[in-house]
Amino acid sequence: ATMDIDIVSVFPDYFEVLNLSLLGKAQHKGLVQVEAHDLRNWTHDVHHSVDDTPVGGGAGMVMKPEVWAECLDDLLHLAPVEDASTLEKPETPNEETVLIFPNPSAPLFTQADATELAGKKHLVFGCGRYEGYDARIPEYYRLQGVDVREYSIGDYVLNGGEVAVSAMIEAITRLMPGFMGNHESIVEESYTGENALLEHYQYTKPATWRGLAVPEVLLSGDHGKVDRFRRDEALAKTTRIRPDLIEALDCHALDKKDRKE
């Protein structure tokens, strides 16, 4: 399965970094095609303006719907609709394509979202800048039956969607079959599997370094003991720094020997 990713931004050069490293290799292998588009290519005025003042007042600028729609109609192969208020939301939205807007005022993007999106054929990301984008843009495409998502990557505010989109693309594409050589390293990592604990600490050689020793049990060769030690460590670590993940745990995912902290 291959995936096409289109990104729309007023800073398309920002996405040059996606040609590096593992994602660059995946593109070379033909597993994923990433294209970054300059939103200003869809403007018609001499100033190439993409934003305007907020209706109702307030600071900053808001991205205009007209320019975005011309661009997204092209990328999604949709004909413009004169009066979208008459559209009834179709019952079966397109399952292969997802339109995604990063937005600090949206649900958090999680590993579960990344896993689901890794199975899609076509992702289109729209990067907002300034104070945001006109709310009718996602609304219009939802009315046309497009699967539209808005996600925040964390409870902090960035200057625009570019960093958020890079993070989401990296989280999604690394889960595509064939992307990584070692599939186990995905199965065992944090936030995945039946039980979303933080990962246990990792050590490599030497067994003692600058006076600091690797935990003895890891050198024992007893896989049962090693697994138990790591699981206890993961539970204790998660309880300490992410109690919200412990709260959210499905208690059936805990085994009988998991100790109470």
Q: Per the annotation, does 154 bind a ligand?
A: yes
- Does 193 bind ligand ADE (CB under 6 A)? Our answer is no
Rounded to an integer, what distance in angstroms lies between the CA atom of residue 18 and that of residue 68?
23
Among 54, 65, 93, 104, binds ligand ADE (CB under 6 A): 104
Q: Per the annotation, does 73 bind a ligand?
A: no
Give the number of other Cβ atoms within 10 Å of residue 251's Cβ.
Answer: 6
Give the number of other Cβ atoms within 10 Å of residue 255's Cβ.
Answer: 9
- Does 161 bind ligand ADE (CB under 6 A)? Our answer is yes
Q: Look up residue 111 and give its two tokens.
A: 């590993």
**Total interface residues for ligand ADE by CB under 6 A:** 11
- Does 157 bind ligand ADE (CB under 6 A)? Our answer is yes
Q: Tokens 């990328």, residue?
A: 75
Among 37, 100, 102, 230, binds ligand ADE (CB under 6 A): 102
CB nearer ligand ADE, residue 108 or residue 253: 108
Among 31, 61, 81, 158, binds ligand ADE (CB under 6 A): 158
Rounded to an integer, what distance in angstroms lies between the CA atom of residue 128 and that of residue 134?
10
As measured in angstroms, the least distance from the Cβ of 151 to ligand ADE is: 6
CB nearer ligand ADE, residue 50 or residue 197: 50
CB nearer ligand ADE, residue 69 or residue 164: 164
As measured in angstroms, the least distance from the Cβ of 104 to ligand ADE is: 4
DSSP string, 182-229: -THHHHTSTT-SSS-PPPPP---S-SEETTEEPPGGGGS--HHHHHHH
CB nearer ligand ADE, residue 54 or residue 104: 104
- Which window, 36-44, 80-88, 156-164, 172-180, contacts ligand ADE (CB under 6 A)? 156-164
Rounded to an integer, what distance in angstroms lies between the CA atom of residue 32 and that of residue 113?
18
Among 58, 80, 154, 206, binds ligand ADE (CB under 6 A): 154
Q: Which helix (H) or strand (E) holds 168?
A: helix 162-173
Residue nearest ligand ADE (C-beta atom): 102
Closest CA to 125 of 9, 1, 3: 9
Distance set, CA 188 to CA 130, 184, 197, 248, 249 (Å)? 39, 6, 10, 19, 16
Q: Per the annotation, does 128 bind a ligand?
A: yes
| Interacting residues toward ligand ADE by CB under 6 A | 102-104, 152-154, 156-158, 161, 164
Annotated binding site for S-adenosyl-L-methionine: 128, 153-158
